[in-house]
Amino acid sequence: MNSNSKDEIKLVIVGDGCVGKSYLLITYITNFYPNFYSATSFDILRTNVEHNGKSVKLTIYDTGGCEEYDRLRPLCYKEVDIVIMCFSIDKPHTLENIKTKWLPEIRHYCSDIPIVLVGCKLDLRNNQWTIQSLKTERCSPPSTFNEGRAMSFEIGAIRYFECSALDRTNLTELFDEIIFIVQNPKKPNQNKVCPCNIL
């Protein structure tokens, strides 16, 4: 792990396109859910947050998940402290891609960096329109909590969270835990699942 000062943390967020990465970040930083966001190869977001009474500077690399960005994305991995891997709960194939695409890429460029697995769009898991649309398209139903947790164990993620940018569920808890992991690399138990995820 990169030995940045404890008050400056660099993290990168990865995952398939349109899983909710940028909405998660923008909503957390601005306290505002954007009506529209245009994907780019990667954006650099910076914010200062209070953690245990101290100011912590977060530098966040928001990466594009589309194939055309595959050559540019590795530029974000240098000296990163922690990786957030995202999938969309309403798109089960994006959870499978965590194992088949994103884990190999991250371990190639960031072999010993801790991973936090995040299921985005938690608000859509029990959304009847979403469930019916998946049935109509003969797709698998939304990913369950246990499926996400099982994937976190399989890939060796240090934490598993489920979030909703739309209603801000678990956003603050996610980033508080990310800061804790980086500042206390030997203390957290591996594969911990935050109790607040059991909804």
The backbone region for 18, taken as left when phi is positive above 0, alpha when psi lies in -120 to 50, beta otherwise, is left
- Dihedral Cα 17, 23, 24, 25, nearest 10 deg: 100
Contact call for residues 12 and 76 (beta carbons, < 8 A)? yes
Specify the CATH number for 8-197; select among 3.30.450.90, 2.40.110.10, 3.40.50.800, 3.40.50.300.
3.40.50.300
Per-residue pLDDT of the chain (199 residues; tens, 9 = 90+): 444 457 999 999 999 998 999 999 999 999 999 887 666 657 889 999 999 889 999 999 998 866 666 677 888 888 999 999 999 999 999 999 999 999 999 999 988 999 999 999 999 999 999 989 988 888 889 999 999 999 999 999 999 999 999 999 999 999 999 999 999 986 544 555 654 443 3
Residue 4 φ/ψ, nearest 5 degrees: -65, 160
Domain boundaries, the chain: 8-197
